[in-house]
């Protein structure tokens, strides 16, 4: 079951791969909760690079990034050490189930994703050859057919916006995220500015 804007997200603390626990919702900021695929996923890495490049803008807009993968924390540590935001492992996919995030063959079989897959694999292979990245496991925890999802959660725990990906590279761009945040009625976001 998919969550709709206006739904209440129960308060919790998520345990990231490194760093202190992360409150969701965050009483002083909006939370962009992203669900990605598996540790070392070339498609996810391509997307996360765009988030890293504009992380300052995202923070300035009063948004806290939190990224969830269906991999173990131990496995994620090998891939996400240089990311400037919390990364959470959920190998049992409990959060995925709670938020209605699914897996489907269309994640990789949808023709709209093929160009991105080729670009991501080429870039990932180049980075692996230059020893800047490690190759992902052949059989990752949770499989290869995970679909991405994005949630923007207000400081009051209300879901401001949600996007359930139709294929492996179907998520909000940074511009879309910033536009959604600008429209969000969130006293915490306004106080953070």
Q: Are strands 12-14 and 63-69 parallel, antiparallel or unpaired?
A: unpaired
Interval 12-58: pLDDT, tens:
999 999 999 999 999 999 999 999 988 877 888 888 989 999 999 99
Region 51-67 average pLDDT: 97
Q: What is the pLDDT of residues 138-193, one digit of tens each?
A: 666 666 678 999 999 999 999 999 999 998 889 999 999 999 999 997 554 444 44
Residue bearing tokens 């590279």: 169
As a whole number, mean pLDDT of residues 109-130 equals: 65
* Mean pLDDT, residues 107-134: 65
Structure confidence at residue 81 (pLDDT): 80
What is the full DSSP assignment across 14-41? E-BSSSS-EEESBTTBEEEEEE--STT-
Q: Are strands 12-14 and 22-24 parallel, antiparallel or unpaired?
A: antiparallel
Q: What is d(CA 158, CA 139) in angstroms, rounded to the nearest whole number? A: 36
- Res 70 pLDDT > 70: yes
DSSP-derived secondary structure for 99-154: HT--B-THHHHSHHHHHHHHHHHHHHHHHHHTTSSPPPPSS-TT-S-B--EEEEE-
Alpha-carbon distance of 128 to 134, in angstroms, equals: 6
The mean per-residue pLDDT over the stretch 91-111 comes to 83
Q: What is the pLDDT of residue 190?
A: 43
Question: What is the reported pLDDT for 88?
Answer: 97
- pTM for the complete prediction? 0.82
């Amino acid at each position: 079951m998919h969550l709709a804007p206006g739904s209440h997200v129960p308060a919790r603390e998520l345990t990231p791969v490194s760093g202190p626990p992360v409150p969701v919702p965050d009483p002083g900021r909006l939370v962009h909760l992203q669900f990605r695929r598996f540790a070392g996923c070339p498609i996810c890495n391509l997307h996360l690079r765009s988030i890293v490049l504009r992380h300052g803008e995202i923070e300035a807009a009063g948004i806290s990034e939190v990224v969830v993968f269906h991999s173990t924390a131990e496995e994620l540590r090998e891939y996400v050490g240089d990311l400037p935001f919390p990364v959470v492992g959920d190998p049992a996919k409990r959060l995925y189930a709670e938020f209605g995030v699914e897996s489907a063959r269309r994640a990789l079989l949808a023709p709209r994703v093929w160009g991105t897959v080729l670009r991501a694999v080429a870039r990932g292979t180049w980075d692996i050859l230059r020893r800047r990245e490690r190759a992902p496991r052949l059989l990752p925890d949770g499989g290869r057919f995970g679909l991405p999802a994005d949630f923007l959660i207000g400081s009051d725990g209300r879901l401001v916006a949600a996007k359930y990906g139709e294929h492996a590279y179907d998520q909000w761009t940074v511009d879309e995220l910033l536009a959604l945040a600008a429209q969000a009625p969130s006293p915490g976001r306004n106080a953070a500015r």
